[in-house]
Structure 1
């Protein structure tokens, strides 16, 4: 019998985790523009509704599972209906962890129809029992990830959940995310920062990423008057929001690009994507694909911690 290679099954795939260097990955994604972007970048993709896709297809050959469920319902800048749905989400996760599928009934009771998607990975974990797991979402989802960690620990995993800032791993903007790492093979530990510490490279500034002519990278600081003096970008959480707050600064006005709206390429650079990566769909869809992605340097750090890999992933890709 021919033995098929073990896979990384990537739910709600987008493009961020994939660009970080997942091995033998198959991404499950519903959005057409995101799928076209993934395929164009060379990532194996199945366009589907993750909630309806059968897990048995991957049973017995799944090494790892990665998920970034949609976050708008839990985002602090939105209506926050997902936060009101948290008790229902917790119940769905508990039910799925015991093999009881109550997604339809609980999803119908949620104020935001997307809230139930945060429980979806548990269905896959229960059925596939992968060796290691990574998940990512907005910081307000941390209590959900802690529930996952408690359940996975009962199953024999080592698991940890916490808040990480992508700026600590070389991203040119502040972007905090709730992450979960679980493993059957090694102790689960959140990755240590790679930038800004003693003996480490300095934190990366927005100006440096976008080529605004800054050559110095002092420690991040903001004066009492609110003037940015260098270091990692301090404007807030989210690529497009950060770019908009930079508008009107001298560095922004000195750009060679005539319009005042951040370009897709600029937003992509601030998410850590490689130069020249092509994003498909209408312009608005391209912005969404970029903005919805987990920052690439953060994704790489989390994958390496989960898989026990010491060398950089993207250098080997």
Structure 2
């Protein structure tokens, strides 16, 4: 296949970039956060430290692939929630953009909500300039699925083949449970979301049980080089109530990795405190290599916001391969 070039919006510390590279797609990431940009540069990943709103397709004339994962603060359950409250307005904005109307960030209670519309702006501007992207790969928190469905309607009207859905990252070899809303689109042929390669995690179901056609999900113990079994005590999703703290052993996948992962306690079989996850370990639970050069400040937040490379690779491979005819 010919080598494709990508422009990646909201590129973060490199998760989507590494996944695209695994599928033979190379390019440049646009990232506003100084710390994430420092990590990218330390990893040797081409980076423009800038606001995606200040750029457009004309700045990347050779790019044939558009990728990205817009910030999720206003959509995630752990965030402020204003994006979720305004989902109908966001979906309406997607329709208006398809009609080539201009959308202003001030239309939303939190201007960050409008960032989820940026990939569509880039896609439509490229179409109108006569150089549409051949492939599009997007991911976000699952609460954005309805927005991606709106994207699908607009992109389909522009001639794209589109697939959207919510996927579980442990089913693509990521050692954590994390649900993501994804969109892939191709200008040239039908597409479908990638088939899972690993079994879904179910509490109480042993790793070796399940569909024999799929690989076992990857546990924290499989991913990390820790000398003894451990249990993670997490307050994620508990609303701060200590009684609701979740527990997972090292024989299970991690809870969803967020910027608060360093707060999780780790104990041995007797309840004794063990060292908490290092930045390298947190990165590994997100699917990054152990030697990824995390740089700058607020590294846990960088890791929590990143796209798992294995998920990005699965999406990129799916979009590059023609669908097989049904047997």
TM tier, shorter chain? 0.7 to 0.9
**1:232 shift after superposition:** 4.0
Q: 1:264 to 1:297 in 2, by over 3 A?
A: same
Per-residue CA deviation, residues 183-231 of structure 1 (Å, 9 max, x unaligned), is: 122221111111124233211111221234579xxxxxxxxxx875775
Q: Which runs of 4+ in 1 moved over 6 A?
A: none
| 8 Å Cα contact 2:6/2:26 also seen in 1 | yes
Q: Distance in 2 between matches of 1:237 and 1:35?
A: 23
- Who is 1:273 aligned against? 288
| 8 Å Cα contact 1:239/1:267 also seen in 2 | no
Q: Distance in 2 between matches of 1:250 and 1:232?
A: 15
Give me the CA root mean square deviation.
2.5
- Who is 1:27 aligned against? 29
Q: Distance in 1 between matches of 2:6 and 2:75?
A: 26
- Who is 1:10 aligned against? 8
- Who is 2:83 aligned against? 82
- Who is 1:202 aligned against? 216
Q: Distance in 2 between matches of 1:120 and 1:209?
A: 35
Question: TM-score of the superposition, structure 2-length normalised?
Answer: 0.79
Q: 1:12 to 1:305 in 2, by over 3 A?
A: same
Give 1 or 2: higher helix fraction. 1
| 8 Å Cα contact 2:286/2:308 also seen in 1 | yes
| 8 Å Cα contact 2:56/2:122 also seen in 1 | no
| Mapping of residues 82-161 of structure 1, within 5 Å | 82-102=83-103, 104=104, 107-128=105-126, 129-161=132-164
Per-residue CA deviation, residues 129-183 of structure 1 (Å, 9 max, x unaligned), is: 2111110000000000001111111111111110111100111110110000111
Q: Distance in 2 between matches of 1:6 and 1:262?
A: 36
| 8 Å Cα contact 1:73/1:82 also seen in 2 | yes
Q: What SS does the corresponding residue of 1:177 show, helix, strand or coil?
A: strand
**Greater shift in the superposed pair: 91-100 or 164-173:** 91-100
| 8 Å Cα contact 2:30/2:50 also seen in 1 | yes
- Who is 1:292 aligned against? 305
| 8 Å Cα contact 2:20/2:26 also seen in 1 | no
Q: Distance in 1 between matches of 2:183 and 2:291?
A: 30
Question: TM-score of the superposition, structure 1-length normalised?
Answer: 0.82
Q: 1:198 to 1:214 in 2, by over 3 A?
A: farther
**1:291 shift after superposition:** 1.0
Q: What SS does the corresponding residue of 1:62 show, helix, strand or coil?
A: coil
**Greater shift in the superposed pair: 206-215 or 164-173:** 206-215
Structure 1 unaligned regions, length at least 5: 216-225, 311-317
Structure 2 unaligned regions, length at least 5: 127-131, 200-210, 230-245
| 8 Å Cα contact 1:264/1:287 also seen in 2 | yes
Q: Distance in 1 between matches of 2:70 and 2:247?
A: 36
**Greater shift in the superposed pair: 64-73 or 21-30:** 21-30
Q: 1:21 to 1:55 in 2, by over 3 A?
A: closer
| 8 Å Cα contact 1:208/1:214 also seen in 2 | no
Q: Distance in 2 between matches of 1:269 and 1:252?
A: 24
Please point out which of 260, 266, 269 is paired with 1:250. Answer: 269
Q: What SS does the corresponding residue of 1:74 show, helix, strand or coil?
A: coil
1:48 lines up with 2:50 in the alignment: yes
Q: Distance in 2 between matches of 1:254 and 1:210?
A: 17
